[in-house]
Structure 1
């Protein structure tokens, strides 16, 4: 089944070239199907890159998915033109009256700042509070995961002495968890961050379960409140093959002398083509979330989400 996206969204051309089935809004309205309604709060500076990464994974499913994008009204992105935002995005005020089967909160390049110092923190906090009654399942990524853990459970983040940068080996911490169904006992995921959560802080919260982790420095990877259907993912399974390369090349060009990403280039040689070790993990992760924690459980009448969640 296809993923429904706004008419003329640039990501559509890229995804169609990869044989991912997308349809625009006009065609989708002609079908008598109740699609899954997914809201994406995109906090990344260059919106279209993150859009494409997430839509690629959401579109690799037998389910029809309808996506709305929002950006923060309290901070206007500087790397994406306003006419682009006006055409393809809304604000929280424009969707706060709606209900959604699922929501994704992306990472953001603000991790070295205290949460309360982030220009749009009050708006993010309001959106996360709203999600408890208007979204059936919420999927937080990287800084979005740190923000969610802090807002909902008071778990702090800590700066690390050296950037966590590369593709790290992880292992499962629980058996038979639906979000990780089909995962190998060991699997690889990219990370790129300057901060972390401490495992001991997470273990103090009885509602949270650590689903997967890596050895240091990457640490805890997937955390969940299964009852509330909240997921917090510290890595970037959605990354494109060259995302870490682009970060490395940018910092090298700027004279920052970055470390070579771990487990990324053959023989740690940046002149060679990176090895993708996480593609299947990414598709499984998002497909499992959509199927087991959104489609299989969300009420058919979407306006019933609030009462169902309270039950």
Structure 2
């Protein structure tokens, strides 16, 4: 089944061109099934690019998914038009009475700041707490993952001496995990961050299980069964050119930056990078969506209740 998004959303035509099945409201109504409700709290500056990246992976599922775009209400976007936000986004305050089968919280360009100094941190704390009662499974990505694991468990982030930037080999630490079904033992993942969450701090918290790790870049993916949460610190969702866009942006701005590790062929930025993580990105999101489908309540109102927890 396809993903249901507004047919005027810029991502619509991009996904159709890529062969991702999308559907209109009319077509969705004809199918007598309950679509999975997946929300995306988009904290990234270029919201349209992130919409495409996430919708591409969520929409590859064989299940019908209704995709809801959400933004924080206490922050004014600088790189996305107000018209786009008003047309396609709801604030968290507008959706907080709803229940979601799955909810994605993205990264944000504030990772070097203390969490408490982020202007919308108070709203983020409310959102994290809300996911515990209104969302069946939450996927927290990059800064979203670091902020969530700090909020729930006070696991700190640590500043890096230089930006972790490039494509790095990762190891599958838990092949039996439903989220790593079909994964290779060794695979590539894009990394772009100035901070990290360390294994030694994660291991102090009972119930946190490390699923993916890089010898060079550290922990990548953590699962918390009790809260039905995933903390992903890197960027499996990235496009082929995402790291190149960041690199050339900083070069043009005169910001010191090293060439992304193991990304451009022969370390030549004139050559187009090869995407070596796409298949595992689809596997990961497909596994997440499938696990949601297998374990969520049919009655949305039961999400977050004791009866749903007992059923899971």
SS of 2:244 mapped into structure 1: helix
Provide the residue aligned with 1:201 in structure 2.
Answer: 201
Match of 2:172 in 1: 172
Maintained 8 Å contact 2:175/2:183 = no
CA contact (8 A) 1:228 1:309 kept: no
Q: How does 1:90-129 map to 2 (within 5 A)?
A: 90-129=90-129
State the 1:275 CA deviation: 1.7
Cα displacement string for residues 256-307 of structure 1 (whole angstroms, at most 9, x for unaligned residues): 2310111101111111111211010100000000002x10000111111121
| 2:135 counterpart of 1:135 | yes
Structure 1 distance, partners of 2:44, 2:288, is: 22
Where in structure 1 are there 5+ consecutive unaligned residues? none
TM-score calculated relative to the size of structure 2:
0.97
Distance 1:5 1:158 in 2: 37
1:225-236 alignment runs, 5 A limit: 225-236=224-235
Contact 2:6 2:12 in 1 (8 A): no
Which moved further from structure 2: 173-182 or 9-18? 173-182
What secondary structure does 1:90 align onto?
strand
CA distance in 2, matches of 1:6, 1:25: 8
* Residue range with higher mean Cα deviation, 133-142 or 75-84: 75-84
Q: Quote the Cα distance in structure 1 between the aligned partners of 2:266 and 2:252.
A: 21
User: How much does 1:309 deviate?
Assistant: 4.5
Quote how far apart the aligned CAs of 1:61 are. 1.1
1:172/1:186 contact within 8 Å kept: yes
Runs (4+) off by over 2 Å: 24-27, 308-311
Aligned residues of 2:175 and 2:181 also touching (Cα < 8 A): no
In the aligned structure 2, how far is the partner of 1:7 from the partner of 1:182?
33
Cα offsets for 1:71-120 (capped at 9, x unmatched): 11101111111111111000111111111100000000000100010011
2:301 counterpart of 1:303:
yes
Cα 1:165–1:279 shift into 2, 3 Å:
same
- Equivalent pair of 1:164/1:194 in contact (CA under 8 Å): yes
Cα deviation, 1:182-211, whole Å, max 9, x if unaligned, reads 110000000100000111000000110001
Unaligned runs of 5+ in 2: none
Moved more, 135-144 or 225-234: 225-234
Paired residues for 1:1-311 under 5 Å? 1-216=1-216, 218-292=217-291, 294-307=292-305, 308-311=307-310
For 1:106 and 1:266, locate their aligned partners in 2 and report how far apart those are by CA, in whole Å. 29
The 8 Å contact of residues 111 and 195 in structure 1, kept in 2 or not, is answered as yes
- The answer to whether the 8 A contact 1:75-1:119 is kept is yes
Q: CA deviation at 1:310?
A: 4.6
> Structure 1 length as normaliser, TM-score?
0.97
Deviation of 1:226 after TM superposition, in Å, equals 1.8
Any idea what SS the aligned residue of 1:162 has?
strand
For the residue of structure 1 that corresponds to 2:166, the secondary structure is strand
SS at match of 1:306: coil
Alpha-carbon distance in structure 2 between the residues aligned to 1:46 and 1:127: 21
